[in-house]
């Protein structure tokens, strides 16, 4: 038939093991980063509390992963290096409920077949460590004693030295290092209880101490992994349904990104890129995010290992859910709800999401401890008591139920909108921040909510509302622009000019119109009206530097936010102005809307809540 297929002429042979391993390596070992992923996952499966990763020349020359896990017993060292040898599965039913990161038993032999690999290990109780070197034939050599603390070290040198065709696909050291760092980052995000360090050519790049339950340290670690500010800009997520739990963080839409570079989704502790969940997340953000922007999130979905098949992809980047539809809807609804409750959905004192790699723990936790303190304590939006049905609940000093007062107030007939566009509040329900009672000292607004007393700093709250409004107008691309009578000309390098070309859309959205004139010339033609007084040339140059550094720039928004904040301050209620009750209620409703609009929430608090329990405690009641 076709004589360009010479293989037809050859006899069928069983391939030698070494070649089989090299072929398998094609699926799991793509580059140093994939080696690192397999080795670190092995360390985690071995219960490591600390994992040290040292790389040379992007990990191509050398990649060494050390851990303090359980180690490999002497009689199993050579076995660990043979194909389809694993301690994690014994029979098919294990595969259906696999809770470890590895289970295919092919990483070590595959890596060993395309590198010079040394495996050293020591288990508890052994007098010394043992080390085995894999020869170029792919066969493990003699076991030799070595000094090694409890744990395992895998030292991988000269990746692809014997498969030059594959070596050609490696990129520069820098690029490979970038991939490597990304892998370490992804894994470290999911394992706050494990310490990690990463060094390159002897220089430390990351050093992450394990964090316990301390939210401050956890936030620090998030910032170390994702850049400063992530934790501050994020809403914590902790949602549960029967057999499903979603935890982690989503960044407020106002801090969305121009690139999809901060999207981490884990299923039972395993980072996956799954179309189904990506779609669900995207859809949840669709109401609150411009389509050209990308949400940022770190999310952990936990479900019974029996409900998900991790054995779909050799490198396990994908999973298959048994109930895909249900998982999709759960993720979508959980996030949509979280995004629409905004900062008001945060539990008082900060709610820390369930983290991590222990599916059983988390799923069990759902069954036991959910109703009262998990969901009930998640903030004012969650609690909707009807006053009439609660005898002990009398508004302070005012002899009519709040529900009626609210219903009678023509200004506030319609409550905040639900995410699905329904008016959420029935006339008798109580909005999250309740109803105004009085103004105190000209400065504070006192309100009664279902959960207790709300105290609002009027000026701060109003300033926030104005600021967020300005900011969302800006974010929606409705920021007024102002044409320059004489375009501002700036000389940059052709590469930099090219960057501005690429990001033209983003810039125009925030009101900056820049044309390219010639290879390295830029003409700034229109600027955001809010920014007309800043040093434009400096701003544009800084912008280019940001774009060159990481392909995105928050600088324009930062500058703008500064200007917007100043404007908001001048435009808001001064202290000591008397407000009427309807004015105060209007402010409360505005605050709820703004929180729902999910804009930034840093700086000093604009309101506090003194709960019924707090009051009882103050008056030593109910002891």
Cβ proximity to ligand ADP: between 87 and 304 the closer is 87
Minimum CB distance to ligand ADP smaller for 139 or for 390: 139
Tell me if 457 sits within 8 A of 405, measured CB to CB.
no
Contact partner at residue 67 from ligand ADP, Mg ion, none, CB < 5 to 8 Å by partner kind: ligand ADP
Q: Which stretch binds Mg ion (CB under 5 A): 25-33, 102-110, 148-156, 464-472?
A: 102-110
What is the distance between the alpha carbons of residues 130 and 284, in angstroms, rounded to a whole number? 52
The span of 95-103, 290-298, 395-403, 500-508 binding Mg ion (CB under 5 A) equals 95-103
Q: Which is nearer to Mg ion, 42 or 439 (CB)?
A: 42
Partner whose binding site includes residue 611, from ligand ADP, Mg ion, none (CB under 5 to 8 Å by kind):
none
Q: Which two tokens stand for residue 414?
A: 């319609």
Q: C-beta of 106: minimal distance to Mg ion in Å?
A: 8
Yes or no: say if 369 and 240 are a contact pair by the CB < 8 Å rule. Answer: no
Binding of Mg ion by 28 (CB under 5 A): no
Give the containing element (helix H, strand E) for 122. strand 116-122
- In the sheet with 607-611, reading across from the earlier edge strand, the strands are 435-440, 444-449, 452-457, 607-611
- The one of ligand ADP, Mg ion, none whose footprint includes residue 244, by CB under 5 to 8 A per kind, is none
Give yes or no for a contact between 117 and 62, defined as CB atoms under 8 angstroms apart: no
Look at the chain and count its residues. Answer: 623
Alpha-carbon distance 350 to 213, whole Å? 12
Least distance to Mg ion, CB of residue 45, Å:
7
Nearer to Mg ion (CB atom), residue 41 or residue 451: 41
* Minimum distance of ligand ADP from residue 150's CB (angstroms): 10
Q: Is 478 exposed, middle or buried, given 0-12, 13-18 or 19+ CB atoms closer than 10 A?
A: exposed
Q: Per residue, what are the HEC states of 67-91?
A: ECCCCCCHHHHHHHCCCCCCCCCCC
**How many residues of this chain bind Mg ion (CB under 5 A)?**
3
Residue placing its CB nearer to ligand ADP in the complex, 305 or 415? 305
Q: Using CB under 5 A, which residues numbered 518 to 557 contact Mg ion?
A: none
Taking CB under 5 A as the binding criterion, the range among 41-49, 227-235, 365-373, 564-572 that sits at the site for Mg ion is 41-49
Helix ranges (DSSP H) in 247-307: 275-285
For the bound state, the minimum distance from the C-beta of residue 46 to ligand ADP, rounded and expressed in Å, comes to 3
Task: Say which entry of Mg ion, ligand ADP, none residue 29 contacts (CB below 5 to 8 A, set by partner kind).
Answer: none
- Phi, psi at residue 521, to the nearest 5°? -110, 140
Contacts of 570 (CB under 8 A, 6+ apart): none
Q: Which of 21, 22, 34, 42 binds Mg ion (CB under 5 A)?
A: 42
559 binds, among Mg ion, ligand ADP, none (CB under 5 to 8 A by kind): none
CB of 55 to ligand ADP, least distance (A): 17
Question: Is the Cβ of residue 114 or residue 251 nearer to ligand ADP in the bound state?
Answer: 114
463 binds, among ligand ADP, Mg ion, none (CB under 5 to 8 A by kind): none
Tell me the closest approach of the beta carbon of residue 108 to Mg ion, in angstroms: 7
Q: Which among 224, 235, 22 has a CA at the least distance from the CA of 112?
A: 22
Tell me if 107 contacts Mg ion by CB under 5 A. yes
Contact footprint for ligand ADP (CB under 6 A) = 38, 42-43, 46, 67, 69-72, 80, 85-88, 102-108, 152
Question: Residue 203: beta bridge partners?
Answer: 200
Query: x/- binding map, residues 49-88, to Mg ion, per CB under 5 A?
Result: ----------------------------------------
- Rounded Cα–Cα distance for residues 114 and 139 (Å): 12
Q: 3-class DSSP state for residue 562?
A: helix
Verify binding: residue 21, Mg ion, rule CB under 5 A.
Answer: no
Alpha-carbon gap, residue 571 to 613, rounded angstroms: 37
Residue 104's binding partner, choosing from ligand ADP, Mg ion, none, with beta-carbon cut-off 5 to 8 A by kind? ligand ADP
- Residue from 102, 109, 475, 511 that binds Mg ion (CB under 5 A)? 102
Cα 353 to Cα 235: distance, rounded to the nearest angstrom: 10
Between CA 210 and CA 490 the distance in angstroms is 48
d(CA 251, CA 253): 6
Q: Is 252 helix (H, G, I), strand (E, B) or coil?
A: coil
The interface partner of residue 229, options being ligand ADP, Mg ion, none and the CB cut-off 5 to 8 Å by kind, is none
> Where does this chain bind Mg ion (CB under 5 A)?
42, 102, 107
């Amino acid at each position: 038939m076709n004589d360009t297929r010479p293989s037809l002429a050859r006899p069928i042979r069983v391939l030698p093991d070494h070649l089989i391993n090299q072929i398998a390596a094609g699926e799991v070992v793509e580059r140093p980063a994939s080696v690192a992923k397999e080795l670190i996952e092995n360390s985690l499966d071995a219960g490591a509390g600390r994992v040290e990763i040292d790389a040379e020349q992007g990990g191509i020359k050398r990649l060494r992963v050390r851990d303090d896990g359980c180690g490999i017993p002497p009689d199993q060292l050579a076995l660990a290096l043979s194909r389809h040898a694993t301690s994690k599965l014994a029979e098919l039913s294990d595969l259906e409920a696999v809770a470890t990161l590895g289970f295919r038993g092919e990483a070590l032999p595959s890596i060993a077949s395309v590198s010079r690999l040394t495996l050293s290990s020591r288990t508890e109780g052994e007098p010394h460590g043992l080390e085995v070197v894999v020869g170029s034939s792919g066969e493990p050599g003699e076991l030799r004693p070595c000094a090694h603390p409890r744990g395992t070290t895998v030292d991988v040198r000269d990746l692809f030295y014997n498969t030059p065709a594959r070596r050609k696909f490696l990129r520069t050291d820098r690029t490979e290092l970038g991939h490597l760092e990304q892998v370490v980052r992804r894994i470290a995000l999911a394992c706050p209880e494990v310490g990690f360090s990463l060094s390159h050519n002897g220089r430390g790049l990351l050093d992450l101490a394990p964090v316990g339950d301390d939210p401050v340290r956890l936030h620090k670690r998030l910032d170390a992994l994702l850049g400063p500010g992530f934790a501050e800009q994020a809403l914590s997520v902790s949602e549960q349904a029967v057999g499903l739990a979603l935890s982690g963080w989503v960044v407020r839409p106002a801090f969305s990104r121009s690139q999809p570079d901060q999207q981490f989704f884990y299923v039972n502790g395993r980072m996956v890129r799954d179309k189904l969940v990506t779609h669900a997340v995207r859809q949840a953000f669709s109401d609150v995010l411009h389509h050209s922007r990308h949400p940022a999130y770190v999310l952990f979905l936990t479900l019974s290992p029996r409900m998900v098949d991790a054995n779909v992809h050799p490198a396990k980047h994908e999973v298959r859910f048994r109930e895909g539809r249900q998982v999709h809807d759960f993720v979508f609804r959980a996030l949509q709800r979280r995004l629409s409750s905004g900062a008001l959905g945060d539990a008082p004192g900060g709610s820390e999401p369930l983290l991590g790699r222990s599916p059983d723990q988390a799923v069990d936790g759902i069954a036991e401890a959910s109703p009262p303190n998990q969901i009930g304590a998640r903030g004012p939006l969650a609690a909707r008591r009807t006053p009439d049905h609660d005898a002990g609940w009398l508004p302070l000093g005012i002899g009519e139920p709040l529900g009626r007062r609210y219903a009678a107030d023509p200004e506030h007939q319609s409550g905040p909108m639900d995410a699905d566009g329904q008016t959420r509040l029935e006339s008798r329900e109580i909005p999250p921040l309740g109803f105004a009672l009085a103004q105190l000292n000209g400065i504070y607004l006192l309100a009664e909510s279902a959960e207790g007393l709300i105290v609002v700093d009027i000026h701060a709250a109003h300033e926030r509302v104005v600021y967020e409004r300005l900011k969302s107008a800006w974010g929606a691309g409705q920021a007024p622009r102002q044409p320059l009578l004489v375009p501002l000309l700036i000389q940059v390098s052709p590469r930099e000019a090219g960057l501005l070309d690429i990001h033209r859309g983003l810039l125009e959205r925030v009101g900056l119109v820049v044309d390219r004139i010639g290879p390295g010339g830029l003409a700034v033609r229109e600027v955001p009206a809010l920014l007309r007084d800043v040093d434009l040339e400096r701003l544009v140059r800084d912008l280019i530097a940001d774009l060159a550094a990481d392909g995105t720039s928050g600088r324009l928004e930062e500058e703008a936010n500064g200007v917007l904040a100043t404007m908001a301050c001048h435009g808001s209620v001064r202290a000591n102005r008397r407000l009427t009750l309807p004015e105060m209620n209007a402010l409360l409703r505005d605050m709820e809307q703004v929180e729902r609009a999910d804009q930034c929430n840093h700086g000093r608090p604009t309101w506090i809540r003194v709960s019924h329990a707090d009051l009882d405690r103050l008056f030593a009641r109910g002891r």
